Amino acid sequence: MLPGAGALSFAFVFARWRDRLLANPALQRRLMALPPVRWVARRQLRSLFDLCAGFVYSQVLAACVELGLFSRLAGGPRAVNEILAGNPHGADLSPEALITLLDAAVALRLLRREHRDGVAHYGLGAHGAVIAGDPGLVAMIRHHRLLYRDLTDPLACLRTPPGGLARYWAYADGDDTGRLQPERVAEYTALMAESQTLVAQTVLAAYPLTRHRAVLDVGGGSGVFLATVAAGDRPPALHLFDLPPVAALARERLAARLPNGVRVGVHGGDFLRDALPAVADLITLVRIAHDHDDAPLAQLLAAAFRALPPGGRLLLAEPMAGTRGGERIADAYFGVYLRAMGSGRPRTRAELTGLLSGAGFVRVRERPSRLPELVRVLIAERPSTVKNT
């Protein structure tokens, strides 16, 4: 054991030593004379700068989306005057101001710049091309306005969320869910639907549903997950449960999304008050658990347990805290986002396993996900023999 280290791990002791070096400007100056150290130091500096400047980067992105730049440039590069012409959002923007934005976007690989006959033209960069092809991402970026507003004073937001995001996610706003009007759920339901296909494909690649007789997708939104299940081989019978106005949207939208002859049983209700229908041997919770604090989540898991037959399964899929390579997404982004929303938190696999076990589920195991940063998948079972109490 290292002197004075107590029971600390070697990695922790090394980190303390490194931190002391990094905090010593005189030593840093001497080390910068050594080329390999300089390389590491420059990388560290860039990464630290990115942290300081992240807000500016996301505002450049937001402004590009607001101007509709990615869709405008999808057809090929354009000069500044062409970008401004006929753009209602660019009406009172000077060419110089637009160039500032465009050059910032080039630096962030949102756009790229090339010269034709000596005139700068701007086209899509690698990130911009992805955004141009993904309306879900555009919708996600647009709704971040609310997050930025709530985070204007980050400490105040951590103490008491200002409520902008909670108003958007009506179920997190403490409203009586029985009285929710359709307009309170339409926007978030559309936003979720835009991003759900990729999530659904990732979940189904991790756990094909072919062994199941019937699935109930709880918090199923407008039904994109079930429509993706329906498009696969030998789909089970399909049921969806969500708040009544969301269930109404699902009834409307599913008709157009389902293959001929496939039907979905749509059930409206509040999973924190109403019993879940006992119609399926698999219940799915896709991007649901992280929206809720521990007590309501325990309530929901208990309701799912009651609705399953002995031997039935629960599938829980969402981004999880502590995912190697995904820490920024789950721990930093979702951690702060859900805190600002005022409900829920990203949980580690161990925390979710504990909550599932607490509700009576057994054999909780993880299925490998293609995109663990986006969604990880846990399967749990209701025991096939029920203990008499």
What are the residues binding ligand SAM (CB under 6 A)?
Answer: 171, 177, 185, 189, 192, 196, 199, 219-221, 242-243, 246, 270-272, 286-288, 291
Q: Please, which residue, 131 or 315, has the CB nearer to ligand SAM?
A: 315
Q: What DSSP character marks residue 90?
A: G
Closest contact distance (angstroms) between CB of 243 and ligand SAM is 5
Structure tokens at 202: 């990732």
Least Cβ distance, residue 121 to ligand SAM (angstroms): 38
Q: How far is CA 49 from CA 54, 106, 156, 341, in A?
A: 8, 18, 24, 28
288 vs 307 by CB, closer to ligand SAM: 288
Looking at beta carbons only, is 125 or 223 nearer to ligand SAM?
223
Order of strands across the sheet that contains 214-218: 264-268, 237-242, 214-218, 282-286, 313-318, 376-381, 362-367
CA distance 218 to 271: 8
Cβ at position 215, least distance to ligand SAM in Å: 13
Give the residue with the Cβ less far from ligand SAM, 110 or 297: 297
Residue whose tokens read 């090339």: 114
Residue nearest to ligand SAM (CB): 219
Using alpha carbons, select from 53, 146, 74, 69 the residue that is nearest to residue 102: 69
Task: For the chain, give the longest Cα–Cα distance.
Answer: 83
Least Å distance, CB 272 to ligand SAM, is 5
Backbone angles phi, psi at 201, to 5 degrees: -65, -40
- The two tokens of residue 125 are 């960069």
Token pair 């910068």: residue = 32
- Spell out the residues 6+ positions from residue 387 whose beta carbon is closer than 8 angstroms to its own: none
Which residue, 110 or 224, is less far from ligand SAM as judged by CB? 224
Give least dist CB 108 to ligand SAM, A.
28
Burial of 178 (0-12, 13-18, 19+ CB in 10 A): exposed
Instruction: Count CB atoms within 10 A of the CB of residue 360.
Output: 18
What letter would DSSP give residue 320? -
Q: How far is the CB of 3 from ligand SAM (least distance, A)?
A: 51
Which residue, 112 or 367, has its beta carbon nearer to ligand SAM?
367
Helix (H, G, I), strand (E, B) or coil at 262: coil
Torsion angle defined by CA atoms of residues 176, 182, 184 and 188, in that order, rounded to the nearest 10 degrees: 120
Kindly state the smallest distance separating residue 61's Cβ from ligand SAM, in Å.
22
Backbone angles phi, psi at 362, to 5 degrees: -125, 175
CB of 340 to ligand SAM, least distance (A): 15
